[in-house]
Amino acid sequence: MFAGSKILTLLYLPSWMNLAGYWFNLAFHLSLTLGSAVVLPGVMFLRSSPPEWVSALYAALDRPLVAICFSVFMLGCFVKCKSGLRDFFEWRGFHFLGRLSYCVFVLHFIVLRLILAGNTQLNHASIYSLITLLISVSVLSYIVAIPICLLVELPAIELWRACTQFERKPPVVQQPQSFVVKPLDLVANIRRRQDV
């Protein structure tokens, strides 16, 4: 059908010729690696003290570069760049956790304070204790958030919607007075001489 057509090659470019999409897809796949690579040199500040200009340069560029890298990653997720990591983030099981996220945000300070105040011994800060604290606070916050979400947040949202959104009634249209209109029939109105 399009054999020998010169317009087809001008209008419909092959997908491999979409250079902007190719570069953005490449930046999307490299963004997490580059963001992590920007953060890792910060370890050198823990071991020794580098020159002041290196510290100032790193402090000035660290957060903006990490923010740019993770912003590119988020934009790639929004425009649905194909990636196994994005498919993992779109897993159906995370929808439930996302629904509870506001309650967890409100409650996790309380849970954290109860866990830390419940421990009367002095602890050394180690990777193991910090990971244990992170997991325990996360799990307990989500467990506490389930009844709060079901009994407080969701009914409050529905009450707010009921109070602020009015049901739209269809407007009443006054119909003009209808006259009895007989269908147009050319044969019915003909009178014969015998009928007169």
Distance from C-alpha of 66 to C-alpha of 34, rounded to nearest angstrom: 8
Distance from C-alpha of 23 to C-alpha of 14, rounded to nearest angstrom: 15
Quote the pLDDT of residue 135: 94
What does 148-159 look like in DSSP terms, one character per residue? HIIIIIHHHHHH
Percent of the chain with pLDDT over 70: 79
The burial of 189, by beta-carbon neighbours within 10 Å (0-12 exposed, 13-18 middle, 19 or more buried), is given as exposed
Inform me whether the pLDDT recorded for 149 exceeds 60: yes
Amino acid at 107: L
Name the more confident of 80 and 100.
Answer: 100
Inform me whether the pLDDT recorded for 187 exceeds 70: no
Q: What is the pLDDT of residues 119-136, one digit of tens each?
A: 888 878 888 988 988 999
Q: How confident is the model at residue 96 (pLDDT cuts 50, 70, 90)?
A: confident
3-state DSSP: the chain helix, strand, coil percent, rounded to 5? 70, 0, 30
Q: What is the pLDDT of residues 35-70, one digit of tens each?
A: 889 888 888 777 778 888 888 888 898 999 999 999
